[in-house]
Amino acid sequence: MGNGVTAGALAPDALAAVPGIGVQALALIEAGGPVVVLLLAMSVAALAIVLAKLWQFHAARLWRHGAVGRAVAL
């Protein structure tokens, strides 16, 4: 990287300062390198999309079947 920090060269204090992440998870991320980081980032993006779509469906009231029943009755 351009800032002089290499992959896997995080200080132990920096890893311990991350709240809510277990030591095993951090070890997995370090062992997997950029591939695991990319997978983690894509997983977070996918979760964000799912949550956004659920919110969109909720706002559009897609769980209601009244309009569907009226359309089928035509």
Percent of the chain scoring above 70 in pLDDT: 72
Please report the pLDDT score of residue 72 as a whole number: 84
Is 21 strand, coil or helix?
A: coil
Q: Give the residue extent of every domain in the chain.
A: 1-32, 33-74
Average pLDDT of the chain is: 78
Does residue 74 have a pLDDT over 90? no
pTM over 0.75? The answer is: no
Q: What share of the chain is helix, strand, coil (3-state, %, to 5)?
A: 70, 0, 30
- In 3-state terms, what secondary structure has residue 37? helix
pLDDT digits (tens, 9 = 90+) for 26-59: 888 889 889 999 999 999 999 999 999 999 988 8
Question: Is pLDDT larger for residue 35 or for residue 22?
Answer: 35
